Amino acid sequence: MNILGIIPARYGSTRLEGKPLLDICGKPMIQHVYEQVKKVMTNVLVATDDERIERVVKSFGGNVVMTSDKHNTGTNRCLEAYKIFKSKFDIDFDVVINIQGDEPLLEPEQIRQLISCFEEDTTEMATLVIPVKSSENLFNGGVFVVMDKNNNALYFSRSVIPYVRDANKDNWQKQHTFYKHVGMYGFTPKALNEFANLSQTSLEIAESLEQNRWLENGNKIKVAKTEFETIAVDTLEDLKKVRQMIK
């Protein structure tokens, strides 16, 4: 398979402005992510709308393209970046991987696990989940996923799903294995184009989760399970934790 990894990177962030350029042990965060992805893929690309990020990526030798500042999702930014890269280098790709730019502790094995979903010819879109191991992690936020017996996603929610009836919440994990979503996606180019051009749906808007748009239109999302945890840097506290771990 010929695979393109795209890392959307915006400068603006409501909680932590300039996040991709924050220093982590001598390197900007976007460089940490880029180098982790390069351990798995030959073709890696940062998609940004900010010249400061563009300069930094070029300074460490990374591939970067400037995209519109009008995109409301990372998926739409990925589609534009894919089209630019494909046109510039005249390369056809089988799969496009959308990788979060704020996870400097990303495990390369997670990308391999996601790519494995496309060994099935019927897979158009795929993502990762991780089993919840403790009650503490069950009720501390995140996005939850329920799946069918063939590991296709049924629904994504910011609520803990499923709801275990007639059981104390402290005992829920004895009744069911819960899964949290790991925000990395894979698409065939055809599915990426279709997804980005679909109108927003009611479930997507209600949960503020764009992946529900694909499901609500009757499509499938293949799910791979991972045991590798990552930490998204959304706050200064997250940043301190990641710096300490990398040290």
> In sequence order, which residues have a C-beta less than 8 Å from that of residue 194 and are 6 or more positions away?
none
At 44, the pLDDT band (50, 70, 90 cuts) reads: very high
- Directed axis angle between helix 29-38 and helix 51-59, to 10°? 50
- Residue pair 53/46 in contact (Cβ under 8 Å)? The answer is yes
Residues, the chain, total?
Answer: 247
The C-alpha atoms of residue 105 and residue 102 are separated, in whole angstroms, by: 9
**Ranges of each domain in the chain:** 3-246
**Helix spans in 9-140 (H):** 29-38, 51-59, 74-89, 108-116, 135-138
Q: Across residues 234-247, what is the average pLDDT?
A: 88
Q: Across residues 36-45, what is the average pLDDT?
A: 95
Taking only Cα atoms into account, the Rg of the chain, rounded to an integer number of angstroms, comes to 18
3-246 to CATH, choices 1.10.3210.10, 3.30.360.10, 3.90.550.10, 1.10.760.10: 3.90.550.10
Supply the pLDDT for residue 70: 82
Look-up of token digits 């104390």: 168
The C-alpha atoms of residue 230 and residue 93 are separated, in whole angstroms, by: 27
pLDDT digits (tens, 9 = 90+) for 120-158: 999 999 999 999 988 778 888 889 999 999 999 999 999
For residue 162, say if its preceding peptide bond is cis, omega within 30 degrees of 0: yes
pLDDT digits (tens, 9 = 90+) for 65-97: 999 888 877 888 899 999 999 888 888 899 999
pLDDT digits (tens, 9 = 90+) for 16-30: 788 899 999 999 999
